[in-house]
Structure 1
Amino acid sequence: MASGGEVDRIAAEFGVHFVNHTRRAGGRHQSKARRTCQTILKKHGAGHLRLVFGLIDTEKNRGNWSAPCLTAVSWLAANKPEWVERRDFLEAFDRLDLEALLERAKRINPGAPTLTLSVLISYELDRLMAERRTERAA
């Protein structure tokens, strides 16, 4: 099992503090997803978990520390490494509205919002990066 202390330290680097799963996260700096983060840490390592936190830690998306968002962003980083390495990836990712995409995923597929969110993020990033390529070509 991944260390809860290590997960807490990594989260703290981004100003995130975990609250008990029975409580409601009360702000943009709180998360109930400690167990999800432990799973990500165990499966992919500390560097990957830091990448996930770093991608979500933008002015627009800070506060989206839910298990579905963390899992979907982790999936994207693990399965699309060629995207993560692109110069325009961070710019495109910063343009995402994770909260809106999660709400849309819940409406589309209430039984599997995390999987649906992963797909929506992939489609949206693909669109944004293609849009950027078109702008550069013009």
Structure 2
Amino acid sequence: MAKNEQVKNGIFPMGPKNDAYAKYFVGQSYLQGLVNDPEVNVGVGNVTFEPGCRNNWHIHHNGFQILLVTGGEGWYQEEGKPAQKLTAGDVIVTHDGVKHWHGATKDSWFSHIAITAGTPEWLEPVSDEQYNALG
């Protein structure tokens, strides 16, 4: 059994397979939207990653992204900086225009609430070489 599998039963629902964004991920993720109000121009979702899953490098234009880590173990990296290991309670703020990625560690489930404004630009995947070099 993978580490931290209990994140599947977290305080927020895990949601269905993240098929709408699957082409921007390596591995399997799940997405549950948490705010469905057309008058609120900020996305809020619970994103759950299976072990080894990560999203592609991406940039948020005319906005930002805040990650509230709710369980498991994961990684966050901005271009040109070392990756940061994340666990429950960590908070990440990604400013407008910053190229970054996030996802689970190789052997652990990972979940975070993503609060996102602006338009994402999806870029290249994090290579297996880059990812496997992490802790």
TM-score, normalised to structure 1, is 0.26
When you count helix as a share of all residues, which structure comes out higher?
Answer: 1
Higher relative contact order (CA 8 A, sep 6+): 2
TM-score, normalised to structure 2, is 0.26
When you count strand as a share of all residues, which structure comes out higher?
Answer: 2
